[in-house]
Structure 1
Amino acid sequence: MEALHHCLPFSQGSVPDEEATCSIEDAIRFIQLSALPASSEVVQIDRADGRILAETIRSGCDVPGFDRSTMDGYAVRTSETTGASEENPAMLRVAGSIPMGSAPPVTLGEREAWAVPTGGFLPAEADAVVPVEAAVISEGEIRLSRPVPSGDHVTRRGADFSAGEMLLPEGWTIRPQDVGVLAAIGRTRVKVQRPLRVGIVPTGLELVDATAEPSSGEVREVNSHLIGVFLRRLGAIPIISEVVRDDTDELTYAVLRAVTDCDAVVVSGGSARGERDVTGRVLHRLSDRTMPSVSFGPGKPTRIAMVHGRPVIGLPGHPASSFIVLVLFLARLIEGMQGSSRRAACRHTVRLAAPIPLRRRRETYRLVRIRDGWATPVDGETGRLSTLFECDGIVVVPAEGDGLRTGDQADVITW
């Protein structure tokens, strides 16, 4: 921890350096090392879908637990069918049948066959099954006119999973098919991470509730709903507070209340420079440790502080800028804090249908519309909702060069 503190640009109770910035990677690393550890709980597997494992799952048994047939047919010893032909068929006595769910009463006798159902338990020393439709039965004997290959229509004990095999790593997000596997190995309860509670504090004198009719100069508050739904996708629980005015005392109280009840806090708005933008000043006053703004565009400024061991993130007020920070930064932070192997966003390659110039010498992100592998930049300012509404990806514009040209391949992040 101390070594990291020496290399990361943080401050402790100091006046913010408005020009200082840090990378997304440094910010995430700092928070993960500084934040209080997440807690876990034990749940029934029927309620575990989408939860993040807080333990490694190993099989406590072989699955299946016995050699079994994959067809209705007759269990045989293949060595007794060697050389079988139409002229010299192998004749095996049908000694009996093994009901589904029952163990065979005896070891397979010499030149014997036993009738078995699909999924049925094979008698010892049987190593193949002759399907019913391929069997010729005459006077209590099965007539085989060709050799039967060993392993035909048989699933061996432990073919799915063997005892002691690692099945699911810690940090795995449980899927419905994983629940089936857990049931098969007898694990009806698993230890999972408790969902992170993330407080959302919207700020702004001009904001009113989405159910209200705005008067002159007012707008409906959008970001808490946007952020809350996005957090639920990550498996977190959003705790949304009432809108806070651009007032230092009110915001201080709201942040302190949120860090008491939550694992992390997001303050929406008030994080850029300006007379009414108080988030940066409040976070510096409350912080155990404060980092400079995260250096990427157009999501800058993104304030970060640790308050009572809880990360507090100040997001831009513009919905489009805020959403970019959600996808590129907050998603990775929440996933890391939860120990999740799942990624809400994925990166792949597209071609550009129009150029994207680089305005500043830093890695930049541009909202785009993707159709048939081509990405078109969405025109509009980050403060316009239509810009966000029309996009379905974020193109990464490298800091090197003059930007991207029409036809260039580019990395795009989707969610």
Structure 2
Amino acid sequence: MNFLKVTDIDEIEELILKKIPSLKGKKEMCKLEDSLGRVLCENIAADLNVPEFNRSTVDGYAIKSRESLGASQGIPAFFTIKGEVLMGEDSSKKLERGEAVYVPTGAMIPEGADSMIMIEFCEILEDTLLVHKPVSSFENIMVMGEDVREGDIILKKGAVITPENVGVLASLGIYELPVFKKFRFSIISTGDEIIGEDEEYRMGKIRDINSYTLSLAIQKFGVVVEKKIVKDNFETILEEVRKSTKRSDIVLISGGSSAGNYDYTSRVISELDGGEVFVHGISIKPGKPTIIGRSNDKLIFGLPGHPISSMVVFNIVVKKLIESLYFCGDSDDYYYGVLSHNLHSTPGRTTYQMINKTVENNEIIINPIFGKSGMITLMTKSNGYIVLGSNIEGLEKGSRVRVYRF
């Protein structure tokens, strides 16, 4: 019998990058309208001020603030109305003493004015403006560069583009972004028992699950080039993996990673051009029989066939690797709660325990979900997981725990 020599989970990323340093992200330019969810590979700096001119934040009149001192309902301040500023136009007007100019919200403040009086506090008598309230310097005005100053870093390398980010970038006239090129993935499900959606179900067969769950999980981080089902035949798997390494950056092989007689992944990787297996087992539960290897500069994962184990390994190894390469680790994607039951773990192996949460008396209660790794309903029953380090034997009921979202 072949026993797996496991690698500590904390060593995986460093080992992968040592073996395949070229994995570190490559740059490409992306149009702003296509940038949602993409990850910046460079800092974005403003090359202009926002706003680019002193701008009114109200509908009203531009005046010199000192000339409104003492104005009240009974004793208004008087100004001569000298026209208006049109929206979207450069104001050539220069405000002189005792003058007022109408300015709508968002329009440019004329030179010489330092405040805006809201129209609600004004009264008009022919060409004379009566102001019934004093205003202070720069009241109701957004000054040039108040929002963004030229040279400011707007978004940092590793930022994930959101709709809000897109709005800011559009305001700066930035319509192309330097982003990390998305990784290309291939997913291969192996097993004589696995059938696809076009195959007729027979007793003893298992419908393919992993290619669907993995391909959807990948969408955030890369492009799924293909997903295929391959029967347990060494030459067939070898040929399919060889093709996939030509088309993809990362190949995920679901099933075929343990030490059984029909688990071909390790042998397949070794037969590839520049093939090397450098991890054959990880010190985690579930997911121990995970293989990691390469074909030259292409990364290959042999994931467990059980759906829960496969997704756990994807989340804690593949996903975290890509987040690290993209500088976008979601470090705040967790919350705390109180454990509802005593929880056992396996010393020497980092345990990832599926949970769901309930709320009782305004407190988050964390309920461990127990079941065999082949039970597909564990995925729908759970909404996160907790991590028990390899150096502890378990946690007691009532312990405060950190819960990671999927």
Q: Answer yes or no: is 1:306 the counterpart of 2:291.
A: no
- C-alpha contact (below 8 Å) 2:277/2:291 kept by paired residues: no
Q: Against the structure 1 CA distance between its residues 200 and 345, is the aligned structure 2 distance closer, same or farther, given a 3 Å change threshold?
A: farther
C-alpha separation in 2, matches of 1:86 and 1:207: 83
C-alpha separation in 2, matches of 1:275 and 1:106: 86
Match of 1:280 in 2: 266
Query: What is the deviation of 1:350?
Result: 1.6
Q: Answer yes or no: is 1:137 the counterpart of 2:118.
A: no
Match of 1:376 in 2: 367
C-alpha separation in 2, matches of 1:193 and 1:402: 41
C-alpha separation in 1, matches of 2:42 and 2:68: 49
Query: What is the deviation of 1:369?
Result: 1.6
- C-alpha contact (below 8 Å) 1:259/1:308 kept by paired residues: no
Match of 2:232 in 1: 246
- Please give the secondary structure, in 2, of the residue aligned with 1:80: helix
Query: What is the deviation of 1:84?
Result: 4.0
Structure 1 stretches of 5 or more lacking a match? Answer: 1-16
Match of 2:339 in 1: 352
C-alpha separation in 1, matches of 2:21 and 2:282: 18
Q: 1:29 aligns with which of 10, 14, 18?
A: 14
Query: What is the deviation of 1:281?
Result: 3.0
What RMSD, in angstroms, separates the aligned Cα atoms of the two structures? 2.2
1:58-113 C-alpha deviation (Å, 9 max, x unpaired):
11111111101111101011122234456764322112111111222222111211
C-alpha separation in 1, matches of 2:355 and 2:382: 5
Counterparts of 1:283-294 in structure 2 under 5 Å?
Answer: 283-286=269-272, 287-288=275-276, 290-294=278-282
Q: Against the structure 1 CA distance between its residues 256 and 267, is the aligned structure 2 distance closer, same or farther, given a 3 Å change threshold?
A: same
Match of 1:106 in 2: 93
C-alpha separation in 1, matches of 2:76 and 2:27: 64
Query: What is the deviation of 1:18?
Result: 4.2
- Please give the secondary structure, in 1, of the residue aligned with 2:93: coil
Match of 2:165 in 1: 178
C-alpha separation in 2, matches of 1:290 and 1:133: 74
- C-alpha contact (below 8 Å) 2:334/2:404 kept by paired residues: yes
Mean alpha-carbon deviation: is it higher for 137-146 or for 96-105? 137-146
- Please give the secondary structure, in 2, of the residue aligned with 1:22: coil
Match of 1:260 in 2: 246
Q: Against the structure 1 CA distance between its residues 139 and 240, is the aligned structure 2 distance closer, same or farther, given a 3 Å change threshold?
A: closer
Match of 1:196 in 2: 183
Q: Against the structure 1 CA distance between its residues 396 and 108, is the aligned structure 2 distance closer, same or farther, given a 3 Å change threshold?
A: same
TM value normalised by structure 1: 0.89
- C-alpha contact (below 8 Å) 1:269/1:316 kept by paired residues: yes
Q: Against the structure 1 CA distance between its residues 345 and 308, is the aligned structure 2 distance closer, same or farther, given a 3 Å change threshold?
A: farther
- Please give the secondary structure, in 1, of the residue aligned with 2:168: helix
Query: What is the deviation of 1:345?
Result: 8.6
- Please give the secondary structure, in 2, of the residue aligned with 1:374: strand
- C-alpha contact (below 8 Å) 1:32/1:336 kept by paired residues: no
Query: What is the deviation of 1:293?
Result: 2.2
TM value normalised by structure 2: 0.91
C-alpha separation in 1, matches of 2:115 and 2:350: 62
Amino acid at match of 1:296: I
Mean alpha-carbon deviation: is it higher for 58-67 or for 283-292? 283-292
Number of residue pairs matched by the alignment: 397
C-alpha separation in 2, matches of 1:363 and 1:108: 72
Amino acid at match of 2:199: A
Q: Against the structure 1 CA distance between its residues 322 and 137, is the aligned structure 2 distance closer, same or farther, given a 3 Å change threshold?
A: same
Match of 2:383 in 1: 392
C-alpha separation in 2, matches of 1:391 and 1:114: 63
1:138-175 C-alpha deviation (Å, 9 max, x unpaired):
34222335431112111111111111111112222111
- C-alpha contact (below 8 Å) 1:68/1:121 kept by paired residues: yes
C-alpha separation in 2, matches of 1:340 and 1:213: 44
C-alpha separation in 1, matches of 2:332 and 2:265: 27
- Please give the secondary structure, in 1, of the residue aligned with 2:309: helix
Query: What is the deviation of 1:398?
Result: 2.8
Q: Against the structure 1 CA distance between its residues 324 and 200, is the aligned structure 2 distance closer, same or farther, given a 3 Å change threshold?
A: same
Q: Answer yes or no: is 1:336 the counterpart of 2:324.
A: yes
Query: What is the deviation of 1:27?
Result: 1.2
- C-alpha contact (below 8 Å) 2:53/2:108 kept by paired residues: yes
Query: What is the deviation of 1:225?
Result: 1.0
Counterparts of 1:48-59 in structure 2 under 5 Å?
Answer: 48-59=35-46
- Please give the secondary structure, in 2, of the residue aligned with 1:387: helix
- C-alpha contact (below 8 Å) 2:63/2:117 kept by paired residues: yes
Query: What is the deviation of 1:387?
Result: 2.0
- C-alpha contact (below 8 Å) 2:4/2:289 kept by paired residues: no
Q: 2:82 aligns with which of 95, 98, 116?
A: 95
1:22-56 C-alpha deviation (Å, 9 max, x unpaired):
23332112323424244333232112112222332
- Please give the secondary structure, in 2, of the residue aligned with 1:242: strand
- Please give the secondary structure, in 1, of the residue aligned with 2:186: strand
Counterparts of 1:6-85 in structure 2 under 5 Å?
Answer: 18-33=3-18, 34-36=20-22, 37-84=24-71
Structure 2 stretches of 5 or more lacking a match? Answer: none
C-alpha separation in 2, matches of 1:221 and 1:159: 56
C-alpha separation in 2, matches of 1:263 and 1:401: 37
C-alpha separation in 2, matches of 1:317 and 1:19: 16
1:246-295 C-alpha deviation (Å, 9 max, x unpaired):
33332222222111110111111111111111222333444346234222
Q: 2:107 aligns with which of 111, 120, 125?
A: 120
Amino acid at match of 1:303: I
- Please give the secondary structure, in 2, of the residue aligned with 1:294: coil
Query: What is the deviation of 1:390?
Result: 1.4
C-alpha separation in 1, matches of 2:324 and 2:89: 48
Percent of aligned positions that are identical: 29
Amino acid at match of 1:293: G
